[in-house]
A and B are shown apart, each in its own frame.
Chain A
Amino acid sequence: MANPTYNLIASQVVGSGGASSITFSSIPATYTDLKVVASCRDTRAVVSNTLTIAFNTGGTYSSKLLEGSGSAASSSNDTTGAVADINSASATANTFSNTEIYIPNYTSSNAKSFSADSVSETNGTTVYSSLIAGLWSGTGAITTIKLTPAVSASFVQYSTFYLYGINNS
Chain B
Amino acid sequence: MASAATYTPIQTQTVSGSTTNTIIFSSIPQTYTDLVLIASTLSTVASYSHIQVGNGSVDTGSNYSATILYGNGSTAGSIRRTNQPNFDVIYSTGDSATATAIVHFMNYSNSTTYKTMLARGNYTSSDVEVDVNTWRSTSPINIITLTQGSGYLIAGSTFTLYGILAA
Contact = CB atoms under 8 A, between A and B. Distances in A.
B167 to A, nearest CB: 13
Interface string A1-21: 111111100000000000000
A5 B124 contact: no
A30 interface: no
Interface string A96-111: 0000001011001011
A14 B122 CA distance: 30
B122 to A, nearest CB: 3
Nearest to B12: A168
A65 B124 CA distance: 9
23 contacts: A4-B7, A5-B5, A5-B8, A5-B9, A6-B7, A32-B12, A32-B158, A64-B73, A64-B128, A67-B71, A73-B71, A75-B72, A76-B73, A102-B38, A102-B102, A104-B40, A111-B98, A113-B97, A131-B69, A131-B130, A133-B121, A168-B158, A169-B9
Contacts of B130: 66, 131
Interface residues of A, number: 40
A168 B40 CA distance: 13
Interface of B: 4-10, 12, 38, 40, 42, 69-76, 96-100, 102, 120-124, 126-130, 156, 158, 160, 162
Contacts of A105: 40, 98, 158
Contacts of B73: 64-65, 75-77
Nearest to A6: B7
A115 B7 contact: no
Given A33-B38, A62-B124, A75-B76, 6 more contacts: A62-B97, A64-B127, A75-B71, A111-B98, A113-B40, A133-B122
